[in-house]
Structure 1
Amino acid sequence: MIATKIGKKSGVPDNYTRLGEYIAAAEEKGEKLHQFWIRNCDAGTNIEDLDLALLEIEAVRRQKPDIADKTYHLVVSFRSGEQNKLTKDDLMAIEAEYAKALGYSDHQRVAGTHINTDNFHMHIAFNKVHPKTLKVITPYRDFKVLAKVSREMEKKYRLTIDPGITDGKGRDPNKLSPAARDYEAHTWQESFQRHVLKHREEILKGLSKAKNWQEAHQVLGGYDISLKLRGNGMVLMSSDGQAMKASQLDRSFSKNRLEERFGVFEGQQVKQRSKGKHLARTKRRYKPRPLVLHRNTPALWRRYLDKRKILPRQPSLTARALRNWKMFLLMEAVHDPLAMVLILIHRETLKSLIGSLHKPPKTVARNRNFS
């Protein structure tokens, strides 16, 4: 089972009543309502009480007019056939566990399960405003909370284990692949995979909110990452052609898992820039950066970048060397003692650096020092 928060769309008003009616009606094509219940409303607990319950919930929400987002919409997706394993009491107990973990045990909510062919899922619409204290609760790091509850419920009810975006199944999610380690050993520059894994947690948090392929592409684009099909799987690619398996970001990011979630793969749709409008900027752009930092490294790095700008078109030995920070330092060491110092520092540091992101040495380059 996979629990996903459906975030509020920018520019779209928060309409709890409409969401509650959607859950009760199961409006999607081919979909039908399976079970339905209401929590913490004096109006009642059943579908026939929905109209009064929604009025009651809206009365609470109106007391916080300055809050634009007062709804937490959670969707829990189950594997095919699991609706036959779970009674209504089981489903309500599962919903209650998510509510408890998120801090919404005493909050008003509408919940229901829908069946659409093999797609069995649960909608839960929490009112983020507490009915008595009027405190607005917004869970922190909720994607980890949701994954933890999902694993617990799978074990309790003997459901298929479906690792989510925070699960590693004993492997080190931050370990570089052999290809990435080779790249760093031969160039002494940060690999694309290190760039991706450095921002792994925030990338996965953004992807947990994506509802379709285009939204997933948009999240990845913010980190200068393209998602492409390759062979029978998918890869994450940098602008300079480096690639890593998508599943190296997380097990839930395999081709099969993503197509179960979003449908058949869709490539990114390129939007044209129009007058007065600007495309979203990349948050964390991938650029080649030195892995090791000495107090005088920035000066040499700027010299390296300046020389790269005037590379000759013909592939000479010098031109090839200038495409590689390591080779540049080796060439500079002939007449620049600082380059030799950096070579010695690199060789010692890279023994512990390559292959690990958990405890980077103090000399690891900080991105803000380079451009």
Structure 2
Amino acid sequence: MIATKIGKKSGVPDNYIRLGEYIAAAEEKGEKLHQFWIRNCDAGTNIEDLGLALLEIEAVRRQKPDIADKTYHLVVSFRPGDQDKLTKDDLVAIEAEYAKALGYGDHQRVAGTHINTNNFHMHIAFNKVHPETLKVINPYRDFKILAKISREMERKYGLAIDPGMTDGKERDPNTLSPAARNYEAHTWQESFQRHVLKHRKEILENLAKAKNWQEAHQALAGYDIHLKLRGNGMVLMSSDGQAMKASQLDRSCSKKNLEERFGVFEAQQAKPRMKSKHHVRAKRRYQPRPLVRHGNTPALWRRYLGNRKVIHQQPSVTGRALRSWKLFLLMEAYQDPLALVLITAHRELLAATLPGNGVVHDKKRMFSKRTI
């Protein structure tokens, strides 16, 4: 089973009454209503109570006129054969588990299952507005919640396992993007993205504590990360201009999800008024480092950094070699055996990690004796 949130379309009004009627009528071609129920409405629980229930729900929603999106529409798709394994009580119990996990256990909702050939699925329309407190609930990282409950329900009711988009197929958060791998292949230095992913857990923990855009900027600042808009999305940038999509850190960091938390994007203030409690020690700042470590690497690295200070005074081949750790090692290999050892180590690392990553280069030419 796969649970999918159907988001509100831009420019289309949030019409809960229309959605409730659609669920009860099963209006799609070839579709018919299988089961139907209503939860947490004084009007009743059955399809004949739908009219009064929708009016009751609408009365609650009208008390939050400033909220444009007050509906959470969930569709749960089952595998062929699952329908025969589930009674109405089972379906109601499954719906209740999703509601509880999303924070909608006490919220009003209309639910129903539809049959369309082998496409057996459930619609649930949650009213985001709590009927008593009037608090509007927007689940955080709901795709994780939906995947977790789906796996639990499959095991509990003996249903077909359907990992869907969030289990197994989700992009490994520790996988570098082609641009980051390309940077490392051409410089043999750790990319900004590797630095970010190295501290991924603590960065997300700090971001989770942020209550507004300025606190979010401060949570990132200690890692030398600047959050900026780019195109239709958002990127994390280093001080030297490297960038990665914010969603590559975690889906919760996409522009859409962050703006749902903090409102329309606000750039970082030039001079924060006060030191944020989310400030992270400066030792977490990004500094390009050798991609491969060796016992004697620090000495050679210090020599590289020291020589870089004179790069502007050496517009020669030697000066250009100081622009990256890789070129420096290739130059040093003539006179320093350690540099040759490090070149070999980088060759082995890149040979193991580069195939299929989209980086175009000639490995044999890069590491041939003629090159070094």
**TM-score category, normalised to shorter length:** 0.5 to 0.7
Query: Partners in 1 of 2:50 and 2:190 — Cα distance?
Result: 56
Q: How does 1:271-290 map to 2 (within 5 A)?
A: none
Letter in 1 for 2:72: Y
Change (3 A) 1:183 1:62: closer
Q: Which secondary structure does the structure 2 equivalent of 1:149 belong to?
A: helix
Residue in structure 1 matched with residue 72 of structure 2 by the alignment? 72
Distance 2:68 2:343 in 1: 52
Which blocks of at least 5 consecutive residues in structure 2 are unaligned? 202-231, 236-285, 291-300, 354-372
Matches within 5 A, 1:36-185: 36-168=36-168, 174=174, 184=184
Q: CA deviation at 1:143?
A: 1.1
| 1:210-264 per-position Cα deviation (integer Å, ceiling 9, x unaligned) | xxxxxxxxxxx9589xxxxxxxxxxxxxxxxxxxxxxxxxxxxxxxxxxxxxxxx
Match for 1:50: what amino acid? L
Whether the aligned pair in 2 keeps the contact of 1:79 and 1:119 (CA below 8 Å) is yes
Q: Deviations over 1:102-143 (max 9, x none)?
A: 111111000011112221111100001111111111111111
Instruction: Please say if residues 188 and 346 of structure 1, whose CA atoms lie closer than 8 Å, have aligned partners that are also in contact.
Output: no
CA gap of 1:223–1:137, structure 2 versus 1, over 3 A, is closer
Q: Secondary structure at the match of 1:14?
A: coil
Q: Secondary structure at the match of 1:49?
A: helix
Give the one of 277, 289, 293 matched to 1:292: 289
Whether the 8 Å CA contact 1:72–1:128 is kept in 2: the answer is yes
Q: 2:361 maps to which residue?
A: none
- The Cα of 1:161 is off from its aligned counterpart by 1.2
Deviation at 1:326, TM superposition (A): 6.0
- Quote the Cα distance in structure 2 between the aligned partners of 1:18 and 1:64: 19
Could you tell me which residue of structure 1 aligns to residue 188 of structure 2? Answer: 188
Residues 193-342 of structure 1 mapped to structure 2, 5 A cutoff? 292=289, 327-330=326-329
Residue pair 2:176, 2:194 contacting (<8 A) in 1 also:
yes
Shift of 1:188: 2.5
- Mapped to 2, the partners of 1:17 and 1:291 lie a distance apart of 56
CA contact (8 A) 1:188 1:290 kept: no
Q: What SS does the corresponding residue of 2:125 show, helix, strand or coil?
A: strand
Q: Distance in 1 between the 2:100 and 2:344 partners?
A: 50
Match of 2:8 in 1: 8
State the shift of 1:42 in Å.
1.0
CA distance in 1, matches of 2:81, 2:190: 46
Q: Give the TM-score normalised by the residue count of structure 2.
A: 0.53
What letter is aligned with 1:61?
R
For 1:292, the aligned partner's letter is R
Go from structure 1 to structure 2 and tell me whether the alpha carbon gap of 1:161 and 1:223 turns closer, same or farther (over 3 Å shift).
farther
Percent identity over paired residues? 76
Shift of 1:72: 0.7
| TM-score (ref. length: structure 1) | 0.53
Structure 1 residue 291: deviation in Å? 6.4
Q: Cα distance, 1:33 vs. partner?
A: 1.3
Aligned partner of residue 23 in structure 2, secondary structure:
helix
Shift of 1:50: 0.9
- The verdict on how the C-alpha distance between 1:127 and 1:334 changes in structure 2, with shifts beyond 3 A counting, is same
Judged with a 3 Å threshold, the aligned counterparts in structure 2 of structure 1 residues 24 and 183 are, in CA distance, closer, same or farther, namely same
Which deviations, in whole Å up to 9, do the C-alpha atoms of 1:281-316 show, x marking residues without a partner? xxxxxxxx996379998x97xx9xxx9xxxxxxxxx
Matched AA of 2:93:
A
| Contact 1:290/1:325 (<8 A) preserved | no
Q: 1:69 to 1:346 in 2, by over 3 A?
A: farther
Letter in 2 for 1:46: N
Alignment length (residue pairs): 244
Aligned residues of 2:330 and 2:343 also touching (Cα < 8 A): no
Change (3 A) 1:17 1:194: farther
The one-letter code sitting in structure 2 at the alignment partner of 1:19 is L
Distance 1:152 1:45 in 2: 26
Structure number with larger C-alpha Rg: 2
Contact 1:188/1:291 (<8 A) preserved: no
Contact kept? 1:24, 1:47, Cα under 8 Å: yes
The one-character-per-residue Cα deviations of 1:174-199 (angstroms, maximum 9, x if unpaired) are: 3679xx989956753679x979x99x
Q: Aligned-pair distance for 1:145? A: 1.0
Cα distance, 1:99 vs. partner? 0.5
Structure 1 alignment gaps of length 5 or more: 202-220, 225-288, 308-317, 356-371
Contact 2:20–2:54, Cα closer than 8 Å, also in 1 = yes
2:64 maps to amino acid: K
Equivalent residue for 2:240? none
Q: How far does residue 81 in structure 1 lie from its aligned partner after superposition?
A: 2.0
CA contact (8 A) 2:188 2:326 kept: no
Secondary structure at 1:130's aligned position in 2? coil
**Separation in 2, partners of 1:142, 1:326:** 43
Aligned-residue Cα RMSD (Å) equals: 4.9
Paired with 1:124 and 1:346, the residues of 2 have a C-alpha distance of 58
